[in-house]
Structure formats: C-alpha cells, structure tokens
Amino acid sequence: MQVTYKGKKYRSISLACDFLGISPVTVCVKYKGVPVEQAFDRILENKRKNNCTDHLGYGFESKRAMAKFYNIPYETLLFRLKSHWDLKLALTTPVGKPRGKSANG
C-alpha cells in the first residue's frame, strides 16, 4: 500500500517508517485506525517532546522513567547501555539473580 507523508510518496508504510526512524509496530498497534499521516505526526511530535524513546518508538521523559516502565533498575540500564548493549536487549533482558557473598545469605 502506497503512503504519502508531507508530499513524499513511499511504496509502503514500512519503508516510510524506516525513512522517518519510526517503528512500524508503533504505527500499526498504537495508532491502529488513525490515518497514517496523522499517526506519523503524533509519533514524531512525541519524539521531539520526550527526551528518549525505546526500541518500539514509545517516548519517555527520561531513561529513568523508561527503566521503571520495563521494570529494571536504572543503574542496570545505564550499565548495559555504557557496555554497548543494543537498546532492545538492554530493556528486555531480565535482571539476573544477585551474585557474591550477599546472595548466599
């Protein structure tokens, strides 16, 4: 299905999303039933308003808010990102059991 956004034509929603840096999942799930151009506008506006976005394109006020949403400690998220983890893996990998003396009781 061809899509036109801001006067530019794309052969598909997926190609338009790739060009705009938007997750197709966000468009199809979060904005289901909303005209594509309007969905793109809303997503891009949210990206501009929010300081950070996750791998699905959802915006958050901060990395701390994003970590809380994904139920991982903020420090863990920062460590993973500083260790060059992919954002999706950093957010979706479960936090392991504690190790060391304190973990053994």
Query: For residue 81, how far is the Cα from the chain centroid?
Result: 14
Could you give the C-alpha distances from 28 to 34, 42, 81, 97, in angstroms and in order?
9, 13, 28, 36
Q: pLDDT tens digits, residue range 82-101?
A: 999 999 999 999 998 666 56
13 vs 5: CA distance, rounded Å: 10
Q: pLDDT tens digits, residue range 2-23?
A: 889 999 999 998 899 888 888 8
Tell if the pTM clears 0.85, that is, is over it.
no
Give yes or no for a contact between 103 and 97, defined as CB atoms under 8 angstroms apart. Answer: yes
